Chains A and B, each alone.
Chain A
């Protein structure tokens, strides 16, 4: 980055941090700078990295003129911004996208979840898989924790069955362990974000060696 860019970056950073004291005009200016550049980035990279290469590769070289039909369907998305007389036209591309996603959910999307389910019950169908007793015990413990955590979500049965109710209570504690682990890692993540900005301000802007 040039010196001017570094100064602009530093001032924008400080404008953003001023929000911690209270909302102010500098923060609003920073906000209104960030949004248009982000939106423009999506448009420009899509244009140069996908639209033009695909047009050249498939439409120009291979003669796949029918791709323009899909492009025109995509343009129908903009009718959402028009009055109700025309906005229903956006349903066509939406339904194409939704259908395309639906098809994957009933074919290929379950694949990683099946792998996880099989791994969860590994202790039951392949107890000697890893060999070591500690590993076998851990796999069994994992399965019990997984099963009780699943049972927590059996809301309709939990009230009627004592087993599901008690197991669900244990499952709730297992979920709490997960949330605690998430919180612990989140603290590290958030502090890292600030440290990144701090290192920029100290090294690049103020030229302090760290």
Chain B
């Protein structure tokens, strides 16, 4: 029963949502409060996720709490992490997300760190392009040539070397054609293929063949 009841629940919610979207009368049905039935359902599901807002926090508490308890390597950092986490949540909830005390570490530490973590990728892409981008066959050669054309089409130096008024519209014109035709064709094929794969998996979940999302017994 521990898997059958959740399966029935997901079936009920799936049918409910489908009916809300697919049938005109249900789609436009208004509750006495004036809210649409489908919107009321959306608010309810949103409120469900509000109930789970602390999941990430509790998981961090569990993992880093274990590190501290067992005095693993770098447990001091775990203690610092938990202290900062509890402080931020407490101050944020007590004041607001726009309060000066709450925002101070967010603006001074988190935003610069988030941006910097991503900016490390600039160096990694240069290093990865140097070490891994090898022209071993026609496929890789096609990819390399297109990459160079698009790169030069994106920047002013490419436009200065082979300008828009020149033959084929220069690097920019070639880049735009590549993005508009072959790239869009390949991307669309990939996107539709991925969508069909998702539909197949969702069908399996709807029919109860796929139950891995419910976990192991």
A touches B in complex, CB < 8 A: yes
Query: Are A75 and B142 closer than 8 Å at their CB atoms?
Result: no
Query: Are B81 and A142 closer than 8 Å at their CB atoms?
Result: no
Q: Tell me if A8 counts as interface (CB < 8 A to partner B).
A: yes
Task: Find B89's partner among A43, A58, A78 (CB 8 Å cutoff).
Answer: A43
Q: Tell me if A166 counts as interface (CB < 8 A to partner B).
A: no
Query: Are B17 and A104 closer than 8 Å at their CB atoms?
Result: yes
Q: What separation, in Å, do the CA atoms of A1 and B106 have in the docked complex?
A: 11
What 0/1 pattern do residues 176 to 217 of B give for CB contact below 8 A with A?
A: 001111111111111111010011001001100000011101
Q: What separation, in Å, do the CA atoms of A92 and B18 have in the docked complex?
A: 19
Q: What separation, in Å, do the CA atoms of A32 and B189 have in the docked complex?
A: 41
CB distance from A79 to the nearest CB of B (A): 11
Q: What separation, in Å, do the CA atoms of A100 and B190 have in the docked complex?
A: 26
Q: Tell me if B144 counts as interface (CB < 8 A to partner A).
A: yes
| Chain B residues numbered 154-189 whose CB sits less than 8 Å from any CB in chain A | 154-155, 175, 178-189
A9-B109, A32-B81, A51-B53 known; A184 vs B149 contact (CB < 8 Å): yes
Which residues of the partner chain A approach B29 to less than 8 Å between Cβ atoms?
none
Task: Find A180's partner among B2, B57, B150, B185 (CB 8 Å cutoff).
Answer: B150
Query: Are A70 and B85 closer than 8 Å at their CB atoms?
Result: no
A13-B112, A29-B77, A99-B14 known; A173 vs B150 contact (CB < 8 Å): no
Which residues of the partner chain B approach A42 to less than 8 Å between Cβ atoms?
53, 56
CB distance from A36 to the nearest CB of B (A): 4
A12-B113, A41-B106 known; A28 vs B74 contact (CB < 8 Å): yes
Query: Are B151 and A184 closer than 8 Å at their CB atoms?
Result: yes
CB distance from A152 to the nearest CB of B (A): 8
A43-B54, A51-B53 known; A193 vs B48 contact (CB < 8 Å): no
Q: What separation, in Å, do the CA atoms of A36 and B183 have in the docked complex?
A: 40
Do most interface residues of chain B lie in helix, strand or loop, or is the interface mixed?
helix
A contact residues, range:
35 or more
| Chain A residues numbered 29-88 whose CB sits less than 8 Å from any CB in chain B | 29-30, 32-51, 54, 58, 62, 64, 66-67, 70-78, 80-81, 87-88
Which residues of the partner chain A approach B49 to less than 8 Å between Cβ atoms?
46, 74, 97
CB distance from A99 to the nearest CB of B (A): 3
CB distance from A19 to the nearest CB of B (A): 7
Task: Find A74's partner among B16, B51, B147, B185 (CB 8 Å cutoff).
Answer: B51
Q: What separation, in Å, do the CA atoms of A31 and B186 have in the docked complex?
A: 38
Query: Are B195 and A110 closer than 8 Å at their CB atoms?
Result: yes
Which residues of the partner chain A approach B113 to less than 8 Å between Cβ atoms?
12-13, 16, 30, 33-34
> Which among B55, B56, B88, B116 has the highest number of chain A CB atoms within 10 Å?
B116
Q: Tell me if A186 counts as interface (CB < 8 A to partner B).
A: yes
Query: Are B77 and A102 closer than 8 Å at their CB atoms?
Result: no
Q: Tell me if B24 counts as interface (CB < 8 A to partner A).
A: no
Q: What separation, in Å, do the CA atoms of A92 and B12 have in the docked complex?
A: 12
CB distance from A141 to the nearest CB of B (A): 6
What 0/1 pattern do residues 69 to 112 of B give for CB contact below 8 A with A?
A: 00000100110111011001100110011000010111111111
Which residues of the partner chain A approach B54 to less than 8 Å between Cβ atoms?
43, 78
A contact set with B: CB distance below 8 Å? 1, 4-6, 8-10, 12-13, 16-17, 19-20, 28-30, 32-51, 54, 58, 62, 64, 66-67, 70-78, 80-81, 87-88, 90-108, 110, 113, 116-117, 120, 138, 141-142, 145-146, 149-150, 152-153, 171-188, 190-191, 193-194, 196-197, 200
Seed contacts A70-B47, A91-B2; 17 additional CB < 8 Å A-B pairs: A5-B104, A12-B108, A19-B120, A38-B110, A43-B54, A43-B89, A46-B49, A64-B40, A67-B47, A78-B58, A103-B16, A103-B18, A149-B185, A152-B189, A177-B182, A183-B150, A194-B123
